[in-house]
Amino acid sequence: MNWVRKLERNFSRYAIRDLMTYIVVINAVVYVLEMLVPQSNLFMKFYLNPSLVMRGEI
C-alpha cells in the first residue's frame, strides 16, 4: 500500500472534498425531477451511450 500513500500525498491537493456527497445529492435531484416531470426526458439528456461515446459523441 505504499504506492497508494505516495499517490495520495502527490495528488491530494486536487481532491474534491465530500465528492460522494455531491454525487448522491445530484443523483437524488435528477431522480426527483424525473419523477415530478416525466416528459422532461432528463435522464436521456445525461445518458452516455457507450457506442456513441466510442465514436466521439458526448
- pLDDT tens-digit profile of 1-57? 788 888 888 888 888 889 999 999 998 998 898 889 888 877 777 788 888 889 988
pLDDT value of position 18: 92
- CA distances to 25, 27, 38, 41, 55 from 35, in Å: 15, 12, 6, 10, 31
C-alpha closest to that of 29 among 46, 7, 12: 46
Which single residue is written with the C-alpha cell 439528456? 45
For 43-54, write each residue's pLDDT tens digit.
Answer: 777 788 888 889
pLDDT at position 25, please? 96
Residue 28: per-residue pLDDT = 92
Cα–Cα separations (whole angstroms), residue 11 to 1, 22, 40: 16, 20, 39
pLDDT at 39: 85
